[in-house]
A and B are shown apart, each in its own frame.
Chain A
Amino acid sequence: MNQLVSLQLKNVSRSFGEVDVLRRISLEISRGEFVAVVGPSGCGKTTLLNLLSGYDRPTSGTIESSGRRRMIYQQDGLFPWLTVNENIGLGLRQLHGEREREGAVTDLLRLIRLEGFERHYPHQLSGGMRQRVELARALAGESDILLMDEPFSALDYLTRMQMRRELARILAERPRTVVLVTHDIEEAAQLADRVVVLSERPAQIRDQLRIAAPRPRNLTDDEVVQAIHRILTVLGIEHEPERATEMERTL
């Protein structure tokens, strides 16, 4: 596999018994690229991430990856019996030396702007703060690939918007290859270099869109609005303007 490629799927299919979930997915994700995967609920997005993380194996096809992979789960994945410090410390277990680890945790706390909360337990934090701790834990110890499964879907709208900014900022400081699964199309358009749109189950890649604008992007930036429109069009929810005018003409 090419040095510049982080993850590579060739003709990957996955079925559970009779149920075909993923069908012949081919995808190449470059080092440092931010790919968002959108698709209808139940189409197989989590299944795809489980394959990418190595937790699950494809029924057919091959997957290659280079680098340490870390997953942020759809469910709350912080250990509630550990403090913020200890949770982040989990990501640093391979680091030797108390000093080194403490230094790394302090840096990560500053990165996620949670200084002063190191001794708090997850249940004492807000949803957005918990997600930032998950992010810090996944970034710790020089991971290379972040796999995120709808990390912000449990947050309220405003917090979600803030978390997008935070994620863009954090990634600017600690670049990673990212695969973000979401059904929030705005989120995909605002964050990703490339958006992969999956079809209903059995999921196939329906379309891929590149968004070249640099991050951080405003939700109302022209590129973002256009991207949202394009994704919605691929999903068959919005129509091309020409067709709209056509419809008006026929009326």
Chain B
Amino acid sequence: MKWKAIVLPIVVAAALLAVWAGVWATGAFHESAFPSPLAVARGFGEEMRSGRLLNDSITSLFRVVCGFLLAVGVGVPGGLWLGQVLAARLAFLPIINFFRNLSPLAWMPFAILWFGVGDAASIFLIFLSVFFPIVLSTMAAVANIPAVYFRVAEDYGLHGRERLTQVTLPAIMPQVITTLRVTAGLAWLVVVAAEMIAGRDGLGFAVMDSRNGLRTDLLVTAMIAIGLIGIVIDRVLVQLTKIPSVRWGYDR
């Protein structure tokens, strides 16, 4: 079983590489529109040596982390509040639903007008794209806590702050972690789009810049980096689901 999990993905990746090389060899596409695997490998080496790939990756990750943490910091407490206070829910839910269904990319012009080109514009867009799903999911999780847990909390003398930290928060933790995984992936998608238009660096800018310079080899290099870092982000967040006190939410 174990070896299959390692060997099979390698076989698939190798096959994909072979198809890529095969299509390139037919010459159906012009060289400038379809780089060879070898050209990409060379481009990759070039980008690594110049340090640009590393810098762009760090820049994009920094923006994602900032926007994401900001959204979690405001969104989770906001969701807790909405989940517990009916009046708050009635007041805010329609407007939250409105903004959730508004593509964050529509904010792009304002992001640039308000913050100019740079970190702040991307962070703003990432915040907008993940804040609303986090608020809504936290709110739903709180509303779905079985009432019996609060009865038990009352019986055993857990009130106020203790009830929040020892009952409400642990009860929603599995669902919040699942939401964090989904929204982190979303944030990583959004940062690339944001940087393509509102950036002067970062992996999204690298994509745009390679296109403008007709360097499709560097374009693919940036794409590969984006995909790999996306996987790493999810792998890191999966670790949260291994915390013993949240396992109950996943092993059913």
In the bound complex, CA of A82 to CA of B245 (Å): 6
> Shortest CB–CB separation between residue A68 and chain B, in angstroms?
10
Taking residues whose C-beta sits less than 8 angstroms from the other chain, chain B's interface range is 20 to 34
A93 at the interface (CB under 8 A from B): yes
A81-B171, A81-B173 known; A94-B151 Cβ under 8 A: no
- Does B245 lie within 8 Å of A123, measured CB to CB? no
Q: In the bound complex, do residue B248 and residue A122 qualify as a contact, i.e. CB atoms below 8 Å apart?
A: yes
Are A79 and B167 in contact, CB atoms less than 8 angstroms apart?
yes
Tell me whether chain B's interface is mostly helix, strand or loop, or mixed.
Answer: helix
Contact A81–B248 (Cβ < 8 Å):
yes
Whether A71 and B151, one on each chain, are in contact in the complex, defined by CB atoms closer than 8 angstroms, is yes
Cβ contacts under 8 Å, B31 to chain A: none
A70–B155 touching, CB < 8 Å? yes
Q: A79 near B152 (CB under 8 angstroms)? A: yes
Residues on B facing A (Cβ under 8 Å): 146, 148-149, 151-152, 154-158, 167, 170-171, 173, 244-249, 251-252
Say whether B151 contacts A55, CB under 8 Å. yes
Residue pair A81, B170 in contact (C-beta under 8 Å): yes
Binding site for B on A (CB under 8 A): 53, 55, 70-71, 73, 75-77, 79-82, 90-91, 93-94, 121-123, 137
Contacts of B157 in A (CB 8 A): 93-94
Q: Which of A53, A70, A90, A93 has the largest number of chain B CB atoms within 10 A? A: A90
- Establish whether residues A123 and B149, one from each chain, have CB atoms under 8 Å apart when the complex forms: no
What chain A residues lie within 8 Å of B154 (beta carbons)? 55
- B248 adjacent to A121 (CB under 8 Å): yes
Residues of chain A within 8 A (CB-CB) of B248 are 80-81, 121-123
Is B148 in contact with A77, judged by CB distance below 8 angstroms? yes
- How far, in angstroms, from A94 to B249 measured CA to CA in the complex? 30
Give the distance in Å from the alpha carbon of A118 to the alpha carbon of B239 in the complex: 24
Q: How far is the CA of A91 from the CA of B157 in the complex (A)?
A: 9
B146 touches A75 (CB 8 A): yes
Complex CA gap A93/B157 in Å reads 8
A-B contact pairs, 18 of them (CB 8 A): A73-B148, A73-B151, A75-B146, A77-B151, A79-B149, A79-B170, A81-B170, A81-B171, A81-B173, A81-B245, A90-B152, A90-B158, A91-B156, A93-B156, A93-B157, A121-B247, A123-B247, A123-B251
B245 touches A76 (CB 8 A): no
One of A76, A94, A121, A122 near B244 (C-beta < 8 A): A121
- Residues of A within 8 Å of B148, CB to CB, are 73, 75-77
Other than the known A81-B246, A91-B156, what 19 A-B pairs have Cβ atoms closer than 8 Å?
A: A55-B151, A55-B154, A70-B155, A71-B155, A73-B148, A79-B167, A79-B170, A79-B171, A80-B248, A81-B171, A81-B173, A81-B245, A82-B170, A90-B156, A94-B157, A121-B244, A121-B248, A122-B248, A123-B252
A71, B155: Cα distance in complex, Å: 8
Q: What CA separation (Å) do A247 and B248 show in the bound complex? A: 57
- Bound form: Cα–Cα A243–B173 in Å: 62
In the complex, what's the smallest C-beta–C-beta distance from B147 to chain A, in angstroms? 9
State A46–B170 Cα separation when bound (angstroms). Answer: 27
Q: Which residues of B contact A76 (CB under 8 A)?
A: 148
Chain B neighbourhood of A71, CB < 8 A: 151, 155
Residue of A at shortest CB range from B243?
A81
A133: min CB distance to chain B, Å: 12
The 10 closest A-B pairs by CB, nearest first: A80-B248, A81-B170, A81-B245, A90-B156, A75-B148, A123-B248, A77-B152, A73-B148, A77-B148, A93-B157
| Contacting residues, chain A, for B251 (C-beta < 8 A) | 123
